[in-house]
Amino acid sequence: MNMKTLHRACLFVSLLIAGLGSLAVHRDSLAQAQTIVRAVMHSDLKIVDPVWTTAYISRNHGYMIYDTLFATDAQGAVQPQMVDTYQLSEDRTVYTMTLRDGLLWHDGQPVTSEDCIASIKRWAARDVVGQEMMAYVKDFAAVDQKTFKIILKEPTAAVMIGLSRASGTAFMMPKRVADVSPQEQIADYVGSGPFVFKTSEWKPGSKVVYEKFAQYKPRTEPPSAMAGGKVVKVDRVEWLAIADQQTAVSALLAGEIDIIEQPSHDLLPMLKKNANIQFSDWSSMGNQYVFRFNSLNKPFDNVKARQALWYAFNQEDFLKAVIGDPDYYKVCKSMFFCGTPMGTTKGTEALLESNFKKARELVKDSGYDGTPIVLLHSTDRHVYANLAPVAKSLLEKAGFKVDMQSMDWQSVVVRRAKKDPVAKGGWNLTITSTNNVLNPLESSYLNAACEKTTFGWPCDAQIEKLRSDFSRETDLAKQKALAEAVQLRAIEYPVYIPLGQWYQPMVARKSLSGLIEAPAPVFWNITKTGK
């Protein structure tokens, strides 16, 4: 090779190296240019099938990657979401629904009527309102690729209530996914929602990643609670698993994360003093603590053992131990949110007052033999951590022997789904929270449909009859009377004990704007500027 040729070769290599370096810099600058919102959610995500579990973290995940046929706005009115137009026949027994143009799954395939029918069936097999709705459904019919019918035996409000629920949500999935048994968890996470689930970057216990779905077609209306246009204004959302609240708050103050969904209440005063932090609310009506029995296992297969807890417990002990600040909790003996149309204290006046004498009488009458009862204790969520120890103390004063078994929240979620006897890994008692207690139909824990219910499996034909009557009633006064009747029966035949109402603010850096107040945390409409 002569000197001239060698010089040209060296020049080519130099230019190639420079080009590769420039490309790397360009790639790095693109990565840095991405707008990323980092959030610490209330729990780590381990169960990614929102139909299979009632856990809110799985519901939150559902809103990231799936969409719904209908949704409720900030006024509680039902609005179309994936649906473009719908009609109800004069006799109110046939709903005809037509999907919007341009709806695509994340794999590029169009959303079809058959997908939606299969999704409704899978959701309805496990959801409290879905089960009620299916009791009235005669058939489904796909008219064409975008239009389908729900044909009823008789009118019911359960169709629109169910398909628009903020929790217990009817997420639409591809037919191949929705055809998976509702008793099994899905393994295909293709949705049609505003974000794509990056399974390759999902590290349980560390990080969950979502990227903007570029082909998502939002509605044109402005966002309102769970309804309206889901316009994604960031490139990427990361959920980081930080169990220690102080660590999470320090990261928020340092600008290393942008949102904490459920900050510990004892840290709120410090956060309020920081000029870079804003407060919002993703559950404006509050939440209700739920103490749930396993009605399959002794001793709580006996109604008197369950009744004893109405007398052993008091709400103030639980609320003080966990929330502490009375600005964020309310003693509420109603099974429905206090201050709402169905809220009532009918029948609860003498209950939840820690009357241990009466509680011990009922425990004795139940035939309880002294076998320790298994109480599940979640240790890694601050809004649950102190509830089980309070329950243990009050249960023991009522005459029970308690085996409190501690574990992380996701392990509780998995354990409580088991129907096994206690000796084989089952359970007796568990504690959770819900914001679905507006009426007897939507309240998951008032469902007493035996094997069809969520964990706990109470079985009472009278409660189910009253709930069914409620689903057919449109007169508000008659609905209130039915709600009272349900509560009275749930005192006589306990399905759970309400432990009070509590409120959870969300905190975020002021670099975020467009946060939407809604019953569930949503990440569309958010704009991020700076740190």
Write out pLDDT tens, residues 455-469: 999 999 999 999 989
Q: Which residues contact 93 (CB under 8 A, 6 or more apart)?
A: 138, 151, 152, 153, 154, 155
Domain assignment present for residue 84? The answer is: yes
Strands 207-212, 236-240: parallel, antiparallel or unpaired by DSSP? Answer: antiparallel
Contact 371, 398 (CB under 8 A): no
Contact 248, 254 (CB under 8 A): no
Closest CA to 309 of 322, 319, 299, 296: 299
pLDDT, one tens digit per residue, over 252-285 is 999 999 999 999 999 999 999 999 999 987 666 7
CA distances in angstroms from 35 to 38, 71, 211, 312, listed in the order given: 10, 27, 10, 52
Dist CA 472 CA 155 (whole Å): 7
The predicted pLDDT at position 226 comes to 94
Same domain, yes or no: 365 and 265: no
Same domain, yes or no: 274 and 360: no
Contact 434, 445 (CB under 8 A): yes
Same domain, yes or no: 308 and 452: yes
Domain assignment present for residue 333? The answer is: yes
Range from 59-63, 452-456, 484-488 carrying the lowest mean pLDDT: 452-456
The predicted pLDDT at position 32 comes to 52
Tell me the pLDDT band of 369, cut-offs 50, 70 and 90.
very high
pLDDT, one tens digit per residue, over 284-297 is 678 999 999 999 99
Q: Which helix (H) or strand (E) holds 62?
A: helix 56-65
* pLDDT for residue 96 is more than 90: yes
Of 178, 210, 232, the residue at which a domain comes to its end is 178
Same domain, yes or no: 433 and 456: yes
Range from 338-347, 358-367, 422-431 carrying the lowest mean pLDDT: 338-347
Contact 260, 58 (CB under 8 A): no
Contact 341, 371 (CB under 8 A): no
The secondary structure of 77-112 as a DSSP string is -EEESSEEEEEE-TTS-EEEEEEPTT-B-TTSPBP-
Overall average pLDDT of the 316-330 stretch: 94
The predicted pLDDT at position 283 comes to 64
Same domain, yes or no: 340 and 249: no
Same domain, yes or no: 170 and 215: no
Domain assignment present for residue 59? The answer is: no
Overall average pLDDT of the 30-46 stretch: 84
Counting residues of the chain whose pLDDT is more than 70, the rounded percentage is: 93
Average pLDDT for the chain = 91
Tell me the pLDDT band of 24, cut-offs 50, 70 and 90.
very low
Contact 61, 237 (CB under 8 A): no
Domain assignment present for residue 487? The answer is: yes
How many Å from the N-terminal Cα to the C-terminal Cα in the chain?
56
CATH of the domain at 384: 3.10.105.10
pLDDT, one tens digit per residue, over 134-172 is 999 999 999 999 999 999 999 998 999 999 999 999 999
Domain assignment present for residue 358? The answer is: yes
Same domain, yes or no: 381 and 418: yes
Same domain, yes or no: 492 and 510: no
In the chain, how many domains are there? Answer: 3
Cis peptide before 223 (omega within 30 of 0): no
Contact 154, 137 (CB under 8 A): no
Same domain, yes or no: 211 and 291: no
Identify each DSSP E strand in 366-482 by its residue range.
Answer: 373-378, 402-407, 429-434
**Which range marks the domain in which residue 206 is found?**
195-284+506-528
Same domain, yes or no: 339 and 362: yes
The predicted pLDDT at position 280 comes to 85
Tell me the pLDDT band of 435, cut-offs 50, 70 and 90.
confident
Of 178, 208, 241, the residue at which a domain comes to its end is 178
Of 130, 145, 178, the residue at which a domain comes to its end is 178
Range from 25-39, 74-88, 500-514 carrying the lowest mean pLDDT: 25-39
Overall average pLDDT of the 114-128 stretch: 96
Domain assignment present for residue 125? The answer is: yes
Q: Which residues contact 238 (CB under 8 A, 6 or more apart)?
A: 36, 37, 38, 39, 207, 208, 209, 210
Closest CA to 446 of 255, 69, 168, 143: 168
The predicted pLDDT at position 472 comes to 85
CATH of the domain at 107: 3.90.76.10
Closest CA to 470 of 496, 499, 430, 442: 442
Residue 33 or residue 181, greater confidence = 181
Same domain, yes or no: 381 and 299: yes
Domain assignment present for residue 381? The answer is: yes
Domain assignment present for residue 113? The answer is: yes
Give backbone dihedrals phi and psi of 147, rounded to 5 degrees, phi first. -125, 135
Same domain, yes or no: 89 and 202: no
pLDDT, one tens digit per residue, over 390-399 is 999 999 999 9
Overall average pLDDT of the 7-31 stretch: 42
CATH of the domain at 267: 3.40.190.10
